[in-house]
Amino acid sequence: MLFSTETEVYFGVGVVGARIWELLPPATRTVEEMVAILASQYHDVPASQIRADVERFLTELLSNGLVAHLETPARRDRQIP
């Protein structure tokens, strides 16, 4: 369970959501890196589905003020919030 002090919303996360939370920086630096790790753990789910689920989850975290989007000028990879 996460709580946004900005929107005063409780945000429930399941097992996969908790795993995505654990993989936020500094554990990983890009969405692609996160998807690769998850794909190696969830063999029965296509990487394209994992990517869509991760992006949807991260968008919800962003919209609820639970993470911030950061970009580093040295790398052009899409950074995770």
The pLDDT-based confidence of 78 (bands split at 50, 70, 90) is: low
Full-prediction pTM beyond 0.75? yes
**pLDDT, position 77:** 54
**pLDDT, position 74:** 53
- Decide if 31 contacts 40 (C-beta within 8 A): no
Burial class (CB in 10 A: 0-12, 13-18, 19+), 61: buried
pLDDT digits (tens, 9 = 90+) for 18-73: 999 999 999 999 999 999 999 999 999 999 999 999 999 999 898 888 888 777 65
Return the bridge partners of 79, or none: 30
